[in-house]
Copies of this chain bind each other. A is one copy, B any other.
């Protein structure tokens, strides 16, 4: 089993690499080779006696897709993307990175005779936009309100069409917001959802910019890696021709997040959260999906946390050291 991870240096890519090494196999086949791709060179994993290649390249580089197919990886995880804010600020860069490089990869695969790898593409709940129902069903239309969401939605359509035609064997999974992210806060509007848990658990103050009634859609990094592994090994004929679907997650309010923090780390942790309302962040967050009916993913065996306590516990076990 040869696995390629495009976007291996990111948080989820790194955790996926660790999980594959710990498992030593994927879908029952021994892990023999890893190709790790990112714009900064991913760290070659220690303690793996299979073949490892690390490739440092901008995925929008012309010709890179053809080079990547030369590895003939059995499974290709496509995690790399320009984030939402950057794709909005730089129109050309966003389309080149999130759409054109994805299509170039699919086309490079298509043009290798007899090569039909499993392609696991990470999409996003940003393919959905207001107006939204209380719970987003598996048949709700995609109405992205950002260029990033548009690029993800288009990649989903391409993936389904290329799969239907037998050029590759693809699945696109729409990840919930991933919390608790390890490391430092970033500039994303969603950063506080991790910060209000992570900072108090590390004895630091955290800022809450929205009302506690705000509801959102969550899964842990551990659950995200589980989705990717399951997507890589699932029999995709069970999906029919629509190869994109929303992953399960936990719909929780900020108040429920804080209550879980209190149960696990006590009132002194909760007391480290400073309520500093930010109308700009509050407005952005209100436009996001906050609950899903994921019957299709559930039936296919995808699993996420069912309480915020579990999400915090995953962070404590996997990242708090």
| Chain A contact residues, CB within 8 Å of chain B | 91, 129, 133, 138-145, 147, 150, 153-154, 157-158, 160-161, 164-165, 241-242
Across the interface, which residues of B come within 8 angstroms of A242, CB to CB?
129, 141, 143
A242 CB, min distance to chain B CBs, angstroms: 5
Across the interface, which residues of B come within 8 angstroms of A138, CB to CB?
141
Provide the bound-state CA to CA distance between A145 and B145, in Å: 25
| Chain copies in complex | 2
Across the interface, which residues of B come within 8 angstroms of A157, CB to CB?
142, 144, 150, 153-154, 157
3 A-B pairs with least C-beta separation: A150-B161, A143-B242, A141-B141
A139 CB, min distance to chain B CBs, angstroms: 5
Give me 18 A-to-B residue pairs in the complex whose CB atoms sit less than 8 angstroms apart, sorted by A's number.
A129-B241, A129-B242, A139-B140, A139-B141, A141-B141, A141-B142, A142-B157, A143-B160, A143-B242, A144-B157, A144-B160, A144-B161, A145-B164, A145-B241, A147-B161, A147-B165, A150-B158, A157-B157
Provide the bound-state CA to CA distance between A144 and B141, in Å: 12
Across the interface, which residues of B come within 8 angstroms of A140, CB to CB?
139, 141
Q: Which of B91, B144, B145, B160 contacts A150 (CB 8 A)?
A: B160
Provide the bound-state CA to CA distance between A160 and B161, in Å: 21
A91 CB, min distance to chain B CBs, angstroms: 7
Provide the bound-state CA to CA distance between A92 and B129, in Å: 32
Provide the bound-state CA to CA distance between A138 and B157, in Å: 19
Across the interface, which residues of B come within 8 angstroms of A241, CB to CB?
129, 143, 145
Across the interface, which residues of B come within 8 angstroms of A160, CB to CB?
143-144, 150
The reply to whether B164 and A154 form a contact with Cβ atoms under 8 Å apart is no
With A133-B139, A143-B241, A154-B157 given, name 18 new contacts (CB 8 A).
Answer: A91-B165, A129-B241, A138-B141, A139-B140, A140-B141, A141-B141, A141-B242, A142-B142, A143-B160, A143-B242, A144-B161, A145-B164, A147-B161, A150-B158, A150-B161, A154-B154, A154-B158, A157-B157
Across the interface, which residues of B come within 8 angstroms of A141, CB to CB?
138-142, 242
